[in-house]
A and B are shown apart, each in its own frame.
Chain A
């Protein structure tokens, strides 16, 4: 039982980091990133490839932390003159290109078979590392959220033209926040690689991005503590549906699909009845003006 609790908390912590990273881009800045699984994949694969080449763990980790933000720039800059809608398409495509490349180049990372990654020494280590990563990500995201930088990100979300009228270059803000978000995504991927001990293309499908989105929409776009709640709820639902499968004796693939249908239903219900999420964005209130 305690092992299971440790497993659940670890998974929830890793996915909370991903939810925070998407929240920085979508919730605060309005960047519709349909490929946030890409930096996660970069992190996990860097851990796996580094280990398969015989390097110590930190080599893969550093490679991922350097490579992921560079990739974010490669995705941001071509969209410079395009509207936000294209962000969705380009990020979606980038994530799929990465997954398909990994799937079809067995010489790099085992193709469909994936690669082995050395596991954390114990499940407690995995737990501590994941929680530490979540704590750091949360503090960074909160600092951004409450700062003038975060305020301008929200102005960008509401109206890009307004931001440029105020003398701001939207691209600079979008690039900065994307780099931070992709570093978080990569860090979560590194932790996930060492936690699961195995990295394969099936872990980085569009469905996974969709699950991160569900967590953000459910929890409250723009609110870091909210998206953590969202991620926890989604992971608890996901894990518990496996027990349900055992009790009701349904085939496990059917239950897996029903689980996705449930997430989809959650999204629809949230959009209709509570678009601000379970924990809505905080309104920064100024104390009564002194006269």
Chain B
């Protein structure tokens, strides 16, 4: 269980988050929705260790996660993607995947000069895993393309693939479907479902309500830095506050079929 409890954070005079508490269970996809500027990505950044909150704690399975130390949070098995995908653009897709390998003995000077055999072995294992993840993502044919040459949707898939190299217990996904074509979105939905079935904790920020309704088991709604609702996607869609502040109502009532 991943718990963020009573998180508050201000940037100067701007109250980005006030007393927000969310929790996400393993084997479930937890949605985080809200209007632009409501604090969704900020909350993700607090959990991922990028921002230090003014107050509040983040725990994973009861153990506190280090605040403000993204690399330590990542080492604890928390992977995240960004709204604008972060990749090494001038490296190939395959090299990017290999960079996701955890605790690589070939990433120390002592390792590469003193234990070349061990490094080569781990590199081979990592390459095999990268191959299978790329196949799973339907990107095996892109292995030797430069990451910077991929389309936006493929870049988002690749960042997920890089995270999976480290086999994370928690995935924090920031708008994986934004700007992605419908076919790739379907692929992502299927992929998220398999991640969920593998027992991982998945937190998903998304504006695509169909995707949210399709994959999320529980949804938290933020508005102006506060939590305004939580529940199943169906509950949320019916919630008056959420409709007023975020979902809105059709300008013209839809015709009944």
- What is the interface of chain A, defined by CB distance below 8 A to chain B? 143-144, 147-149, 151-152, 154-155, 157-159, 161-170, 173, 176, 180, 281, 283-286, 289-291
B206 sits at the interface (CB 8 A): no
A167 contact set on B, CB distance < 8 A: 71-72, 74-75, 102, 166
Given A176-B109, A286-B92, A289-B140, residue A151 in contact with residue B98 (CB < 8 A): yes
CA distance A289 to B102 in the complex (A): 22
Q: Do B102 and A148 touch (CB < 8 A)?
A: no
Interface-central residue, B74, B79, B89, by most chain A CB under 10 Å: B74
B87 within 8 A of A: yes
How near does chain A come to B251, taking the closest CB pair, in angstroms?
40
Give 11 pairs: A residue, B residue, CB < 8 Å, sorted on A: A152-B99, A154-B91, A154-B95, A155-B88, A161-B70, A163-B71, A165-B48, A176-B108, A285-B92, A289-B143, A290-B131
A166 touches B166 (CB 8 A): yes
If the complex has contacts A167-B74, A286-B127, A289-B131, are A158 and B98 also in contact, measured as CB distance less than 8 A? no
A interface footprint on B96-109 (CB within 8 Å = 1, 0 otherwise) = 10111110101111
Q: Let me know if B245 is at the binding interface, CB within 8 A.
A: no
A290 to B89, CA, bound (A): 25
In chain B, what residue has the closest Cβ to A140?
A: B113
Shortest distance in angstroms between A220's beta carbon and chain B's nearest beta carbon?
Answer: 13
* A143 and B112 contact, CB distance less than 8 A: yes
Collect the chain B residues with CB atoms within 8 Å of residue A154's CB. Answer: 88, 90-91, 95
B86 at the interface (CB under 8 A from A): yes
Does B217 count as interface, using CB distance less than 8 angstroms? Answer: no
Contact yes or no, A169 B146, CB < 8 A: no
Q: Are B88 and A166 in contact (CB under 8 A)?
A: no
- A148 x B107 contact (CB < 8 A): yes
Beta-carbon contact of B94 and A286 below 8 Å: yes
Could you count the A-B residue pairs with CB atoms below 8 Å apart for me: how many are there?
104
Of A164, A281, A291, chain B has the most CB atoms within 10 Å of the CB of A164
Complex Cα–Cα for A106 and B124 (A): 57
- B143 contacts across to A, CB distance below 8 A: 286, 289
B-chain residues with CB within 8 Å of residue A170 when the two chains form the complex? 71
Complex: how many Å from CA A168 to CA B140? 26
Q: Are B162 and A166 in contact (CB under 8 A)?
A: yes
A291 contact set on B, CB distance < 8 A? 135
Contact B80 A165, beta carbon cutoff 8 Å: yes
| B163: min CB distance to chain A, Å | 8
> Chain B interface (Cβ within 8 Å of chain A)?
48, 50, 70-72, 74-75, 79-80, 82, 86-92, 94-96, 98-102, 104, 106-109, 111-113, 119, 123, 127, 131, 134-135, 140, 143-144, 146, 162, 166
Contact A149 B111, CB 8 Å, known A164-B74, A165-B79, A166-B162: yes
Q: A151-B98, A166-B99, A286-B144 are in contact. Are A159 and B88 (CB under 8 A)?
A: yes
Q: What's the Cα separation between A173 and B123 when bound, in Å?
A: 19
A148 B98 Cβ-Cβ under 8 A = yes
Q: Are B134 and A284 in contact (CB under 8 A)?
A: no
The answer to whether A180 and B71 have CB atoms under 8 Å apart is no
Across the two chains, which residue of chain A brings its CB closest to B86? A162
Contact A151 B74 (CB under 8 A): no
Compute how far the CA of A286 lies from the CA of B144 in the bound complex, rounded to whole angstroms: 6
What is the minimal beta-carbon distance from A280 to any residue of chain B, in angstroms? 10
Contacts A166-B162, A286-B127, A289-B134: A151 and B75 contacting too (C-beta < 8 A)? Answer: no
Closest A-chain residue to B141, C-beta based?
Answer: A289
Known: A165-B80, A166-B166. A158 touches B87 (CB 8 A): yes
A residues near B70, Cβ cutoff 8 Å: 161, 164-165
CA distance A170 to B222 in the complex (A): 33
CA distance A162 to B79 in the complex (A): 11
In the assembled complex, the Cα of A129 lies from the Cα of B206 at a distance in Å of: 62
**Bound complex: CA A192 to CA B43 (Å):** 55
How far is A164 from B119 in the complex, measured between Cα atoms in Å? 22
Question: Which residue of A144, A163, A168 is within 8 Å of B112 (Cβ)?
Answer: A144
Contact of A168 among B71, B95, B146 (CB under 8 A): B71
B71, B80, B95: the one contacting A151 at CB < 8 Å is B95
The answer to whether B146 and A283 have CB atoms under 8 Å apart is yes
Q: How far is the CA of A166 from the CA of B97 in the complex (A)?
A: 11
- Give which listed residue, B71, B108, B127, B166, contacts A169 with CB less than 8 A: B71
Which 8 pairs, one residue from A and one from B, show the smallest C-beta to C-beta distance? Answer: A148-B106, A167-B74, A158-B88, A162-B86, A147-B112, A164-B70, A286-B94, A164-B71
CB distance from A217 to the nearest CB of B (A): 16
Contacts of A163 in B (CB 8 A): 71
Expressed in whole angstroms, the minimum distance between the Cβ of B86 and any Cβ of chain A is 4
